[in-house]
């Protein structure tokens, strides 16, 4: 998923004419102070952590400042935060607007109905998950005519807007619809959309670009998302690698087998940590790279589950033995292998002679991996 940070989402909004507060990005307290001193951001202002997690307002990651000293203090405090596991590296400084009501609007996909969905709620400003279903109005939108007048009028009514405020909403919705369509977004959310005088202003922006359309948008290629550092390296090497919370590393071939392996470990009381899908490859170079990446994630034990269909068990096994030799001694981990299929006996023999526990039964081998992770191997 390509999740845009608030400031990136707002840059997209600006292009499509969504009204926004004046704002600039800073990466240090000095930069933050300079923005205000050079009048690029007026006082009073809002200092906001640029992290992907929501709930910043409640979590101390959005602060107000009305003097240079307060700007520096807010910037220093927020840049020092680790917000929901994410280090804050960027700030958005914006003019603080005198706001009235806070509303919620979003365009997303209703996958069950296979249609875009417009959501609107008068209960904006709080996390949408905490708003009762009945208080969120949902309208599916036919993508061919696009957002129509009556849909916009209904949203205005639900939000309690009339006159110039309702007209402002219609323009905002037209812009959001364009963002949704032209940028191939799967979510465009404004929470809060604030009432400011006769108009509306987007105080927050959450934009997620549909992964499958990313090829149409090279401009988002550099966007940081929620991949870990190792996942990022894996992506560049075209290795399917995902980090979870547990301590057992899993290497398997094929998405289905990988998922089933995680389930079996879990059922036997293990905690799968990292998983790596070799797919159809037995290319020793690729296997080595994958293995070294696994080592860097520091699993307590690794469970290798290979089914040799087209892939030959013995070539995968040789690749692994070769890869194991390249793992620095300090990063070694106990390895349990379950290997089955094409050239199984040869594969098991190669692994066993390299000191790996190799078993062809799934449960027995998964149990051995769980035990190894508990230090009972």
Residues whose CB is less than 8 angstroms from the CB of residue 73 and which lie 6 or more positions away in sequence, other chains included: 65
338 binds ligand GDP (CB under 6 A): no
Site map (CB under 6 A) of ligand GDP, residues 11-30, x = contact:
----------x---------
204 binds Mn ion (CB under 5 A): yes
Residues whose CB is less than 8 angstroms from the CB of residue 295 and which lie 6 or more positions away in sequence, other chains included: 327, 328, 331, 332, 333
In whole angstroms, how far apart are CA 368 and each of 47, 130, 260, 334? Answer: 52, 43, 16, 10
54 binds ligand GDP (CB under 6 A): yes
In whole angstroms, how far apart are CA 228 and each of 27, 95, 132, 221, 243? Answer: 21, 33, 33, 16, 8
Chain-centroid distance, C-alpha 237: 19
Instruction: Provide the minimum distance between the beta carbon of 44 and ligand GDP in the complex, in angstroms, as a whole number.
Output: 9
Instruction: Provide the minimum distance between the beta carbon of 33 and Mn ion in the complex, in angstroms, as a whole number.
Output: 25
56 binds ligand GDP (CB under 6 A): yes
> Any catalytic annotation for residue 189?
yes
Bridge-based pairing of strands 199-202 and 185-196 is antiparallel
55 binds ligand GDP (CB under 6 A): yes
Q: Which stretch binds ligand GDP (CB under 6 A): 49-57, 108-116, 237-245, 256-264?
A: 49-57
Instruction: Provide the minimum distance between the beta carbon of 21 and ligand GDP in the complex, in angstroms, as a whole number.
Output: 5
Catalytically annotated residue among 90, 94, 104, 231: 104
**Total number of residues that touch Mn ion (CB under 5 A):** 2
44 binds ligand GDP (CB under 6 A): no
Instruction: Provide the minimum distance between the beta carbon of 6 and Mn ion in the complex, in angstroms, as a whole number.
Output: 8
Q: Which residues pair with 306 in a beta bridge?
A: 339
User: Would you tell me the crossing angle of helices 313-326 and 284-296 to the nearest 10 degrees?
Assistant: 50
**Given 9, 23, 29, 192, the residue binding ligand GDP (CB under 6 A):** 192
Number of neighbours of residue 34 by Cβ within 10 angstroms: 16
**Total number of residues that touch ligand GDP (CB under 6 A):** 18
Residue with smaller CB distance to Mn ion, 128 or 327: 128
Whether residue 213 contacts residue 184, with contact meaning beta carbons closer than 8 Å, is answered with yes
189 binds ligand GDP (CB under 6 A): no
Cα separation, 304 vs 368, in Å, equals 11
71 binds ligand GDP (CB under 6 A): no
57 binds ligand GDP (CB under 6 A): yes
Bridge-based pairing of strands 335-341 and 301-308 is parallel
Residue with smaller CB distance to ligand GDP, 53 or 115: 53
Q: List contacts with ligand GDP (CB under 6 A).
A: 21, 46, 48, 54-57, 62, 94, 96-97, 99, 102, 125, 191-192, 203-204
Q: Which are the catalytic amino acids?
A: 104, 189
């Amino acid at each position: 998923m390509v999740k845009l940070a608030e400031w990136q989402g707002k840059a997209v909004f600006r292009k499509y004419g969504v009204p926004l507060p004046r704002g600039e990005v800073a990466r240090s307290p000095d930069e933050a102070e300079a923005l205000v001193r050079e009048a690029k951001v007026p006082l009073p202002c809002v200092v906001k952590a640029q992290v992907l997690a929501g709930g910043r307002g409640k979590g101390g990651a959005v602060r107000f400042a009305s003097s240079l000293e307060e700007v520096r203090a807010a910037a220093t405090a927020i840049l020092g935060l680790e917000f929901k596991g994410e280090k804050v590296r960027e700030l958005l400084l914006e003019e603080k607007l005198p706001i009235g009501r806070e509303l919620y609007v979003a365009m997303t996909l209703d996958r069950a109905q296979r249609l875009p969905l417009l959501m609107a709620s008068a209960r904006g400003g709080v996390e949408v998950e905490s708003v009762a279903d009945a208080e969120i109005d949902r309208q599916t939108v036919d993508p061919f005519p696009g957002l129509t007048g009556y849909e916009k009028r209904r949203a205005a009514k639900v939000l309690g807007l009339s006159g110039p405020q309702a007209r402002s909403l219609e323009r905002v919705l037209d812009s959001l619809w364009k963002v949704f369509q032209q940028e191939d977004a799967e979510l465009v959310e404004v929470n809060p959309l604030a009432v400011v005088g006769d108009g509306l202003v987007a105080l927050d922006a959450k934009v997620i670009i549909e992964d499958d359309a990313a090829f149409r948008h090279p401009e988002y290629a550099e966007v940081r998302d929620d991949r870990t550092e190792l996942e990022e390296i894996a992506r560049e090497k075209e290795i399917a690698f995902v980090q979870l919370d547990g301590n057992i590393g899993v290497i398997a071939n094929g998405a289905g087998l990988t998922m089933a392996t995680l389930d079996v470990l879990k059922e036997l009381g293990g905690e799968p940590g990292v998983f790596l899908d070799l797919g159809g490859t037995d290319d020793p170079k690729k296997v080595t790279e994958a293995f070294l990446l696994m080592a860097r994630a520091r699993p307590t034990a690794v469970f290798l589950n290979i089914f040799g269909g087209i892939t030959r068990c013995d070539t995968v096994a040789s690749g692994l033995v070769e890869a194991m030799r390249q793992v620095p001694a300090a990063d070694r981990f106990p390895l349990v292998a379950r290997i089955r299929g094409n050239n199984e006996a040869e594969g098991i023999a190669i692994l066993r002679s390299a000191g790996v526990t190799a078993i062809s039964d799934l449960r027995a081998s998964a149990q051995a991996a769980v035990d190894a992770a508990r230090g009972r191997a």
